[in-house]
Amino acid sequence: MIQTPYYLIDKTKLLRNMEKIAYLRETSGAKALLALKCFATWSVFDLMRDYMDGTTSSSLNEARLGHERFGKETHAYSVAYADYEIDEVVSHADKIIFNTIGQLRRFEKPSAGIIRGLRLNPGVSSSSFDLADPARPFSRLGEWDLAKVEPVMDLISGFMIHNNCENKDFDLFDRMLGDIEEKFGPLLKKADWVSLGGGIHFTGEDYPIDRFAERLKRFSGEYDVQVYLEPGEASITKSTTLEVTVLDKLYNGKDLVVVDSSIEAHMLDLLIYRESAKVSPNQGPHRYMVCGKSCLAGDIFGEFDFPDELKVGDRISIQDAAGYTMVKKNWFNGVKMPAIAIRELDGSIRTVREFSYTDYEQSLS
């Protein structure tokens, strides 16, 4: 058995998402780009590239990774590019998307050789978290004034609009897209392509994917644009677990277990958004608070029900541990970094990366 903690990517589960993405591409005409900000574990790109059109990035490093490890189309976006980055970004990208008109004009000459776009902010989003809401008051994410964008249309050929966040509600997506059309219709008519970003949970169970495909196709036809989607979480949802081992048990008003992992180090988004991890099936008469081994008092995965009493040495699988998780893992407390393993389509498991003290030491100075 592989020594815990480790992330386990199951290619069979990943394939289910890929097949839904392929179906959507075929029925809607939209292209799908993997959002590397959510998931960038390139050891499974060999499977994913057969079902997706390329990658989209949020930094120079992500753009380079997408170009070198995934291939196909490489879209580069950043909230702000530095002068020393721009030439290298352009060398890796097929399209570059600027966050503001100021950045577009600043880097007009160095980016002249590739396709350019601009981010638009429609002022509405599906986010229930202010922290993640691109349309929050005083947002820096994209241009919102049609009158200011009109004069730079000769410098760009398309737009990126990212205003969905964990949106499982097709009707909400439909209404927000209608808002976008109403606000930016004259600009969209002049574009060749439009990326509607990520955050749309169209690979989830019971999502009306055919209605979604029809809406995308209709949008594409109305404005004569190539539609892009940037699925992150939708690409890898329910494909990956974080495998951990119980190290200790105690009782302090509740039954607690301590595992050889840390929510702050290995599932940081849960801590940031104050959400519980997931354990399946989460049923049974024995309830435990599962705690991480770092010194942070709130290092708690959550409370879960188990069919049997837990004991030291038992293993627990924390579900849905890929999106915005593996890309955010860190060395807090020097806690052992989880290895990365892959369950192949034939059921065999191989370890693709282990981390050592040297990795910890060299991540510092």
Question: Which domains, ranges and CATH numbers included, belong to the chain?
Answer: 11-235 (3.20.20.10), 240-321+329-363 (2.40.37.10)
Please state the three-class secondary structure of 258-298 as a single string. Answer: EECCCHHHHCHHHHHCCCCCEECCCCCCEEEEEECCCCCCC
Q: Please check whether residue 73 is in contact with residue 31, taking contact to mean a CB–CB distance below 8 angstroms.
A: yes
**Whole-number pLDDT of residue 313:** 98
Residues 6+ apart with CB under 8 A from 139: 121, 133
Q: What share of residues in the chain are helix, strand, coil (percent, to 5)?
A: 35, 25, 40
**Whole-number pLDDT of residue 341:** 98
**Whole-number pLDDT of residue 35:** 98
**Whole-number pLDDT of residue 1:** 85
**Whole-number pLDDT of residue 332:** 98
Enumerate the known binding-site residues.
Answer: 233, 269
Please state the three-class secondary structure of the chain as a single string. Answer: CCCCCEEEEEHHHHHHHHHHHHHHHHHHCCEEEEECCCCCCHHHHHHHCCCCCEEECCCHHHHHHHHHHHCCEEEEEECCCCCCCHHHHHHHCCEEEECCHHHHHHCCCCCCCCEEEEEECCCCCCCCCHHHCCCCCCCCCCECCHHHHHHHHHHCCEEECCCCCCECCHHHHHHHHHHHHHHHHHHHCCCCEEECCCCECCCCCCCCHHHHHHHHHHHHHHHCCEEEECCCHHHHCCCEEEEEEEEEEEECCCEEEEECCCHHHHCHHHHHCCCCCEECCCCCCEEEEEECCCCCCCCEEEEEEECCCCCCCCEEEEECCCCCCHHHCCCHHHCCCCEEEEECCCCCEEEEECCCHHHHHHCCC
Enumerate the known binding-site residues for substrate.
Answer: 233, 269
Task: Give percent above pLDDT 90 in the chain.
Answer: 99
Averaged pLDDT, groups of 10, the chain, 365 residues long: 96 98 98 98 98 98 98 98 98 98 98 98 94 95 97 98 96 97 97 98 96 98 98 98 98 98 97 95 97 97 98 98 97 98 97 98 95
